[in-house]
Chains A and B, each alone.
Chain A
Amino acid sequence: MGGDVMRVTWGMMVDNLLAGMSGAASRIQRYQTQLATGRRVNQPSDDPIGVIRILALRSGIERAQTYLDNVAQAREWMTVSETALQRAGSVMAQAKECAQRGASGVLTADGRRAIALEVSGLIDELLAVANTSYLGRYVFAGTDNDAAPFALTGEPPTAWTFSGNAGELRWDIEPQTDMVVNTPGEAVFGGVEGPFAALIRLRDDLLAGNVTALAAEDLSLIDSAQTVVLNALGSLGANSRRLDQAGARLEHLHQAFVESLSGYEDVDMAEAIINLELAESAYGAAQGVAARLVRPTLVDLLR
């Protein structure tokens, strides 16, 4: 009997075999879970550091979607505002044409009255434009936007009132970055030199036959009101470009987050299948050994 050879008993072999089999079985279970869920990380202990990234990336994806929604809403809001301002611009263009026609010396008083009627129509149209709403909210009313902000007083109208405010609608379009999406209505349509003032003055001068005023002051008043509208359109355009850029960045970010999440979270199918097969073959080998271990001992041989 070699002194340095460890005595091996049947019990030891059985114990080791059982430990090996249960180890292989638990590995099989782990890879099967990975394959069944398609995820590499199914609980925090699978990858304690990775789980932080996965959770943060999920938030990032969710939030990028939120900002994309905000950008889409802002774009609709701004498109509505833009259309309205373009209509206001065309109203002012028509008003300018009316002023030029009215300033002509050959026109009779009746002719001017007819033009004044036309201008009254333009005033009504301008009112409709200034009270443009989007999904129940008035786009030129500032933050007090649940009621029509502009109203005309007098019949025929001689003045206008503004019941909104100059509040800004600031929406987050990117993380920690907001943008003013609304156009201040009073600054664009109101004011002593604004479109309403210009149109009312034009109509009054047409009715009064005030040809000199029509040719000079009214025209310049209409021009400056037109400028205010065009400036508002310009700043909307600039904001809408900013919105496009933010949207593109968010799309890119969203895509990048989705890709890295998949990298952290998704199981590498080929690797998991190979691991599963390795674990299964280890299990099979252990079973094979078990079958052979229940072999005859010396007890069976000594008869």
Chain B
Amino acid sequence: MRSTFFGLETARRALAANQRAMDVAGHNIANANAPGYTRQQPVLSATAPYTLPSFVRPAGAGQVGTGVAVMEIRRLQTDLLATQSRQVASELGTWASRDEALSQLGAIVNEPGESGLHSLFDAFWGAWHALSTNSADPALRSGCLGGALALCDGLRRLAQQVESMQAAADQALEAEVAAVNSLACRISELNDQIRSVTQLGDSPNDLLDQRDLLLAELASAADIRVREHADASVTVTIGGFELVQQFGLNELATRADPSTGFREVIWAGHDLTASLSEGRLAGIVEMRDGIYGSFLGDLDQLASGLVAAVNGLHQAGFDANGLPGGEFFDSGSLGARDIRLSSAVIADLSAIAASSTGDPGDGGNAVAIARLEDEALASLGGLSLAGFYRSVVSSLGSRAREAERAMATQELLARQISNQQAAVGGVSLDEEMIRLMEHQHAYNAAARLLTVMDEMLMTLIDSLGAGT
């Protein structure tokens, strides 16, 4: 025997479930353009059926449905895509730093331009060639001095510019570590909130979205590994070190490396600079040490090769007064950043040793120095000075081009993955509108059901009850 009021409850459930579904559609529509938002889906399911007892068959005459309920509000996210997207973000972070460093370096090297270092070398050798034809001419001597001063200035300026970019990269490391810590801190807070919601048996969809967004940001800064626990909290590791733990976090810090003077990234006292593989942090370290640092090293090698080669010949010659030549470049300089001429040459033009015999008219030593232009130097790996510089510029160009292309590829990959994520988890307004309509109609129908029930009960109560 069924209950007289049985249908009322079924209609109520239908009203509630469809209203809930419309709320979810509304939430989706509201967040259609919110970054990191994942579309949610109500999972409607029939509630447990009711078995009608009967006289002949106490159980089994047929089960009666009891209506519908929203069992769960599902978040349409695939973990695999999230992991992939984080990996791509890390690689993109590295390449972005590389690309930035290399294109800045390309801009200040300014080759092949008329004001680049290469043309200063050309002018320097040209001045020695000119001096060789008339070594007593003060105008040619001062031309030679001018060419050498311009070359020194050019080398110093280039080295100093790269050094200041290197220092800026070192500072950026500090800022990046602070950003990583702030992200880690927020992820850890979300961990706690998510855990408490999950323990109540609910799915904290929006909190999970927020955490995924922060994890994606963190991934572009460092190559993180994310491990999810049963209570839905995550552990985040960088290079094997736990940044965010299941309970609490352990922040990164920086300290100055006593040998280089540059910052290193530390975690609980461990230097993890070398364990950083991808991401902006690793990119900045590579930018500072591998790109700017190695370019400065190349410039220093070039400068000391120049100083040694020219001084060696200069000291074998004779100056305008017939005296043995001294240093042309100051051999006390440490490299490109402080290359300078010897004080004797700056003080007196006649100290330039252009003669190989001591006769004022002889320009043999100037010829010998001018010929250094094409001479292979052992200290430069068998390349000439200009050849070495050209190979440095060319490898800079190749690396910059590689970075540009890798950036483009990674961006494309990132977009593909984000499209795939959007295909699963993105909000489609058209779809939501249809869902809205669907549930609206269902809601209307349920309301109609209630009216019918109401009329039925009226018939029952009013017609039968009034007859007494």
Contact = CB atoms under 8 A, between A and B. Distances in A.
Interface of A: 6-12, 15-16, 19, 41, 43-49, 51-52, 54-56, 58-59, 62-63, 66-67, 69-70, 73-74, 135, 137, 141-146, 165, 167, 169-172, 175-176, 178, 265, 297-299, 302
Contacts of A15: 415, 418-419, 422
A9 B397 contact: no
Contact of B357 (A12, A66, A135, A167): A167
Contacts of B398: 45, 48
B122 A58 contact: yes
B363 A44 contact: no
Which 9 residue pairs of A and B lie closest in terms of their CB atoms, listed nearest first?
A44-B397, A48-B397, A45-B400, A143-B359, A9-B426, A143-B362, A145-B361, A48-B398, A143-B361
Contacts of B363: 169-171
Contacts of B136: 137, 146
Contacts of A146: 136, 360-361
B373 interface: yes
Contact of A171 (B133, B418, B426, B427): B133
Given A7-B423, A146-B360, A172 B397 contact: no
B129 A11 contact: no
B106 A10 contact: no
Nearest to B103: A45
Given A11-B426, A48-B398, 9 more contacts: A7-B422, A8-B423, A16-B419, A52-B394, A59-B386, A63-B122, A137-B361, A146-B136, A176-B371
A46 B390 CA distance: 15
A61 to B, nearest CB: 9
Given A12-B422, A45-B397, A172 B367 contact: yes
Contacts of A49: 394
Contacts, number: 181
Contacts of B246: none
28 contacts: A6-B423, A10-B428, A15-B418, A43-B103, A44-B106, A45-B106, A45-B397, A48-B398, A54-B112, A58-B118, A59-B118, A62-B119, A62-B123, A63-B126, A69-B129, A70-B129, A70-B133, A143-B355, A143-B357, A143-B362, A167-B357, A169-B363, A171-B133, A171-B363, A172-B129, A172-B367, A298-B429, A298-B430
A10 B32 CA distance: 9
Given A47-B397, A55-B386, A63-B125, A167 B359 contact: yes
A265 B113 CA distance: 11
Contact of A66 (B126, B359, B395, B433): B126
Interface residues of B, number: 66
Contacts of B111: 43-44, 51, 55
B428 A59 contact: no
A51 B428 contact: no
Contact of B397 (A12, A51, A265): A51
B33 A11 contact: yes
B353 to A, nearest CB: 14
B429 A10 contact: yes
A298 to B, nearest CB: 4
B102 interface: yes
Contacts of B389: 55
A170 B374 CA distance: 19
